[in-house]
Structure 1
Amino acid sequence: MKLSIYNWSGALLLLMLTLSGCLKDNSNKDVKPINEITISDTTAVAAVLQFDTLTVKPDIKESIPVGDKGLVYEWSIHQNDSEDAYPVYILDSTRYLHQSIRVKPGIYRLIYKVTVKASGVSYFKFFDLKVINRFSEGWLVMEDLAGKTDMTIILGTDTSFHHIFTELNKDYVLNNPLQVATTNHYGEKSVWMFGADNAIELEYTQMTKLTDYTSWFWETPAVFHPQKFRQINTGVYILINNGLLHARFAGGFPGDVKYLNTLPFPGGKGDDYYFSSYTGVGPQPYTDEKTPYTAFFYDTKSKGFVYLSGASLIPSLVAFSAPQAGGYFDMRNIGLDLLAMDQGNAPYLNNAIFKDNSNIYLYQIDANRSDPAIAKKLITGDAPELSTFSKMTSSRKLQQIYFLVNNNIHLYDIPSGKARVIKAIPAGEQVTYLQCTGNDVMVGTWNGTEGKLYRYKISPLGDFQDVKVFTGFGKIVSMTYKAA
């Protein structure tokens, strides 16, 4: 009996399993096929110049075509060859890429991401991209944008690239710009940027921040208000900070090279001096030139010049000797206010403009003569209109000086003492920068909203014979030429 019951139960179980296997499966009737994307491309390039526009037009094939309304696009870029963490930059959100590549030079991966809205599934295409430095040579123009620093480069082709400092140094702000300069120390090149209370060094090729002033000194100054930086020869940098002089001497010897503490004024006065920001340059040490006047400076307290001796590895400020019989003036005791000084038409010749209560004077100083005082002239005697000048720059080729008076540029001829207007600045524009570079005079102006740069070509007689105008700047405060 038990056996019969067992057999019947087994048969019943088998019948139920068989019947259940014959039922229709409706569990996947709501599953929808997804839009599968395939991305291909033949338009991408392997390399692009920094700040050039990159255009890529990939081909997208969809298994269920929905077009732009159903797809989301993203172009991004990140650096492959960086040892440090480097951010991913989002370039655009368009089907095709057409964007300026504003990153530092290097090896990058360009990423194209296409996302299907309906499914949320993303598809990728990767491109290898080399960004090539294009800023090897050109004019660096430092600008003030509402108290913040930015910079433009003007290439030899007269192509301008604006905002290169802020684009390449997104996480750094330099306030109240004062000066940009370049140096070449035995083949090691740098770009230096100075603000009212800070300063940084940029990597020469990539134009990105390397160091700031706190690492430049053996003892960082308690007050940092830079006035003037200059490389005065291959191995010597000088920095006038808050009226006091720091020097950096470097030769072929090993070890760290930094700025020395404040150099003391001769005669036991220590730090009791305050230098003007204008610096005259003499010959480089050890070049068989005539004098040890590596550089000279004007003390606004004693109203006289002293010089930096570069004839040893221990630099010092030294008093000039008494003038020779019949000398034009005493370098130690000028007794006037220094308004401006600029290199003249010879390497060590400097044109210095002084004033007393009612007149302005030209003092000419040749730092490669044992008695450097070579000429003195009353400017306002023959050119009284220059008594209210606001800016000056000297010709590098002729015995001439350019003065800015009431928004007019005057050409002053030194031998004759005569002056004449050669250029009127457009109404509404204020001159913020004036400098002769050799064959050109650079004039930066500001109209309250935009800066312009006028590059005037100089004729053989010193006149302006043609002009190139560059636009789109902030307020121009400084310029320097960056060589390759």
Structure 2
Amino acid sequence: MKYRYLLFLVLTCLFISCYDDKGNYDYVDINEVEISGIAQDKFYEKIAFVDTLKLYPEIKGSLYGSDADKYTYEWKIIPASANKTGDEEDSLDYVVCREKNLVYPIELAAGDYRCSFIVSDKESSVLWHQFFYMRVKTLTSEGWMVLCDRNGESRLDIIFNVNEQEDLIAHDLWKDREFKTGKPYNLVFTYNLNGSGRLLICENGTFNLDVDDLHAGEENDLRWIFGTSPSRVDVRASGLSQFANKMRYWVVVDKQGDLYSNNTSDVGSVFGFPINMVDGTTAFEAAPFVGVTYVWYYGASILLYDNTHKQFLELKDGSVYPSVMKFAGTQLFNVQTGRDMVHVESTKTGYNYAILRDPSTGQYYFYGMIMNADGKNSQEYYGEIIGDGLAQATQFACHHMYPYVFYLANNKVYQFDMAHPENEAKEVLSFLGETIRLIKFNPFVAWAPYQDWERARGFNLVVATNVDGANEDQGGIVRMYDVPNLMGDLVKKKEHTGFGKIVDVTYRERGR
């Protein structure tokens, strides 16, 4: 009983002591800060060496109100690719400003950046962070590459789409370069998440244009990624499988009709020996076309054509050599066609269209295919193209949503509906005093967060012309047309003038 009484007295004393101690604290209000004026739900999109990032945040403190002198400030801009955390990240100097308001001329590399505005209370040293994001572009990081011919040498112009209405034009990017390409032939952009190909095909070979400034030079000659390092490489077609289960092929065809593949899934891989052998046994000359699948079909085949035996081939996921193409379901056409391939178009909606010409009759035929997952291919369209001027046709282009074929003949553009092949093609475009140099559609492949208007550019018909008799440094024109459904009249969206003598137009997408 005595022990219980003593324990009670001890606990009572402790309780009283703690109660008295609490009463000795002095409570101080903590300043609470609100930061506004910085958007967090979007990217600030800026163009390097053109734009300035200007941010004027508002600071409101529960103790100091809007008194900006009570704080210190830091602005940090960190590349999204920086793999830094904690103290290691803080050890790098990403601070670009220590003023309350940010006025920062953009001179950064193209890419995404995670940024922060840090406010510090001078008295308490308490910090507040406001995070935001920025996307930097350059006039060469993405845009319409316009390849021109200047007296037998290459010239490169750029159309940069700032937004849906506004554009910037950069002329003659290579004017200060001494490297000689010879006569330009065309451009091919082959998208790869880990490193795309920006191929310039010209008289002096094939060059993978520099990832930053798009220049051509000896150091980016494509021959350096061939295992045998030939003296030169003359590519005529290029394509890359996007969603492979086993091998992500980059396939090219050279001017001799030799076919090469490179498994880009392997770091440091190169193009090896030619693979233009059907099942590894029967040699063939490959047509200068490569068809790929851009939709989410894993393991889809690559479309090729055997010029020797006049037949469709496929390079299956995981195979070394191509084989004769096989189709499931309804058979609309024979795989052995006996015809010459003149065009292949790979679309963002999953269709691969091929245009073939019968050498005995001169007639043109369209073939519509889908290269499905795991090599389960299907035949979707087949028939003859009928319309004026086909005997003089020089170019074809296939729409990436609707089953329309456009062709260029006698300096006029015609449109044909594959879904209603009984109707003749209709004339849709011609230009008095201008020579049409190019018609094409451009697939937007990159898995980038494009806005709707940006994706819609893939459904616009690009038409390039050269003004007859004009100065070849200024007479090129690029126009873009919306293509309505139901064979409606084309609607001109944009027109750009002042280019050189246009040879080709291709979009370089953002990314490596």
TM category, shorter: 0.5 to 0.7
Report which of the two has the higher share of strand: 1
In the aligned structure 1, how far is the partner of 2:321 from the partner of 2:426? 43
Matched, 1:464 2:469: no
Retained in 2: the 8 A contact 1:180–1:191?
A: yes
Larger radius of gyration: 1
The 5 Å alignment of 1:84-483 reads: 133-156=138-161, 157-167=166-176, 170-189=177-196, 191-209=198-216, 210-221=219-230, 224-233=233-242, 235-242=248-255, 243-251=257-265, 253-254=266-267, 256-267=268-279, 269=281, 272-282=283-293, 289=298, 292-311=299-318, 315-321=320-326, 327-331=331-335, 333-343=336-346, 346-358=349-361, 359-368=363-372, 370-380=376-386, 383=387, 385-417=389-421, 418-437=423-442, 438-446=458-466, 447=468, 449=472, 450-462=475-487, 463-483=489-509
TM-score (norm 2): 0.61
Q: Is residue 237–residue 252 contact of structure 2 (8 Å, CA) maintained in 1?
A: yes
Cα distance in structure 2, aligned partners of 1:295 and 1:177: 27
Partners of 2:167 and 2:204 in 1: CA distance? 33
Secondary structure of 1:214's counterpart equals helix
Where structure 1 has 5 or more consecutive residues not aligned to the other structure, the ranges are 1-47, 53-102, 107-131
C-alpha distance 317-222 of structure 1, shift in aligned 2 (>3 A): farther
| 2:364 maps to amino acid | I
Q: 1:235-287 CA deviation, whole Å, 9 max, x = no partner?
A: 43221112111111122x55x211111114115555x4222222222478xx7
Structure 2 SS opposite 1:233: coil
In the alignment, is the contact (CA less than 8 A) between 1:283 and 1:293 conserved in 2? no
2:328 and 2:376 in contact (8 A); partners too: no
Cα deviation 1:2-37 (Å, max 9, x = unaligned) = xxxxxxxxxxxxxxxxxxxxxxxxxxxxxxxxxxxx
Structure 1 vs Structure 2: percent identity of aligned residues?
18
Structure 2 letter corresponding to 1:350: Y
d(CA) in 2 for partners of 1:345 and 1:182?
15
Question: How many angstroms apart in 1 are the aligned matches of 2:349 and 2:48?
Answer: 39
Q: Could you say what secondary structure the match of 2:278 adopts?
A: coil
Contact 1:330 1:373 in 2 (8 A): no
Number of residue pairs aligned between Structure 1 and Structure 2: 349
Q: 1:233: Cα distance to partner?
A: 2.1
Letter in 2 for 1:279: V
Bigger mean CA deviation after superposition, 444-453 or 296-305: 444-453
Residues 312-363 of structure 1: CA distance to partner in whole angstroms, max 9, x if unpaired?
6xx3212224x668622222x1101222222357313324333243322222
Letter in 1 for 2:250: Y
CA contact (8 A) 2:186 2:504 kept: yes
Gaps of 5+ in 2: 1-46, 52-106, 111-136, 443-457
Aligned partners of 2:417, 2:258: CA distance in 1, in Å? 34
SS of 2:507 mapped into structure 1: strand
Q: Deviations over 1:184-237 (max 9, x none)?
A: 544445533221341222332233345212311111346632211233326432
Judge conservation of contact 1:343–1:349 (CA < 8 Å) in 2: yes
Contact 1:458 1:465 in 2 (8 A): yes
Amino acid in the other structure paired with 1:451:
G
- TM-score scaled by structure 1? 0.64
Change (3 A) 1:319 1:197: farther
Q: In the superposition, relative to structure 1, how do residues 386 and 288 fare at CA in structure 2: closer, same or farther (>3 Å)?
A: closer
Q: CA deviation at 1:164?
A: 0.9
Hey, what's the Cα distance between the residues in 2 that align with 1:324 and 1:104?
51
Which residue type is aligned with residue 473 of structure 1? Answer: F
Structure 1: which 4+ aligned runs deviate by more than 4 Å? 48-52, 103-106, 267-270, 323-326
SS of the aligned residue for 2:368 comes to: strand
For 2:301, what is the secondary structure of its paired residue? strand
1:192 maps to amino acid: L
What is the deviation of 1:143?
1.5
